[in-house]
């Protein structure tokens, strides 16, 4: 079995990236409320692309934090595909969740399913882009746990994005706290998924 070590600085940066991406997505969701049709479309796209890019960046920074005594490199087409999956799922789910004055359970479940499946797909496609000499063995219980965390994080994140759209007192504080929750949940999903691989 190979000895694996972790770079705590890169782990910290990966968590910070997920927090910043979550905050920007929440802020973009708030800007949709008072914007006109064109501007609202821009903020929906900006929020989705930023969230997807942030989740993807967090994932690959987290993978770079893993140090193994062997040669590793990334397959470029697979890596780019994982980025596109993350951005597409994030943008589509935000557009579904942010419509209308009320977030129905049906819309929340649909948006959650799209975002969580996109995050999980991005994660494991991204893992498959990591080219190493020996094959990876998977712990399927941890894979299932990482998927459950992704569903919980996606649902909570979309609900928070919708709920915190309106301006109020303490809105920045609430948005910061929500971004911390989302960022930690995204990181938990990533590092649970990473621990599933041997």
Burial group, residue 121, by CB count within 10 angstroms (0-12, 13-18, 19+): middle
**Inter-residue long-range contacts of 1-5, CB under 8 Å, 24+ positions, other chains counted:** 1/198, 2/68, 2/69, 2/70, 2/134, 3/68, 3/69, 4/66, 4/67, 4/68, 5/66, 5/67
**Mean pLDDT score of the chain:** 83
Ranges assigned E (strand) in the chain:
5-6, 66-67, 73-74, 130-131
State how far the Cα of 22 lies from the Cα of 52, in Å rounded to an integer: 10
Q: What is the pLDDT of residue 85?
A: 94
pLDDT > 90: percent of the chain: 20
Q: How confident is the model at residue 1 (pLDDT cuts 50, 70, 90)?
A: very low
Q: What pTM was computed for the model? A: 0.86
User: Which residue's structure tokens are 């569903």?
Assistant: 151
pLDDT, residue 82, reads 92
What tokens appear for 53 in the block? Answer: 């890019």
């Amino acid at each position: 079995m190979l000895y694996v070590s972790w770079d705590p600085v890169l782990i910290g940066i990966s968590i910070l990236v997920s927090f910043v991406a979550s905050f920007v997505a929440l802020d973009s969701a708030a800007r949709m409320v008072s914007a006109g049709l064109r501007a609202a479309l821009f903020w929906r796209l900006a929020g989705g692309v930023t969230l997807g890019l942030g989740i993807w960046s967090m994932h690959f920074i987290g993978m770079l934090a893993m140090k193994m005594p062997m040669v590793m490199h990334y397959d470029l087409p697979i890596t780019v595909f994982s980025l596109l999956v993350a951005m597409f799922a994030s943008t589509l789910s935000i557009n579904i969740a942010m419509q209308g004055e009320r977030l129905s359970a049906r819309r929340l479940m649909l948006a959650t399913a799209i975002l969580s499946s996109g995050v999980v797909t991005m994660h494991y496609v991204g893992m498959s882009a990591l080219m190493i000499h020996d094959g990876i063995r998977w712990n399927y219980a941890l894979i299932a746990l990482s998927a459950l965390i992704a569903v919980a994080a996606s649902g909570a994140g979309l609900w928070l994005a919708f709920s915190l759209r309106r301006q109020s007192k303490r809105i920045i504080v609430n948005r910061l706290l929500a971004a911390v929750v989302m960022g930690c949940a995204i990181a938990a999903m990533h590092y649970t998924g990473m621990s599933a691989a041997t």
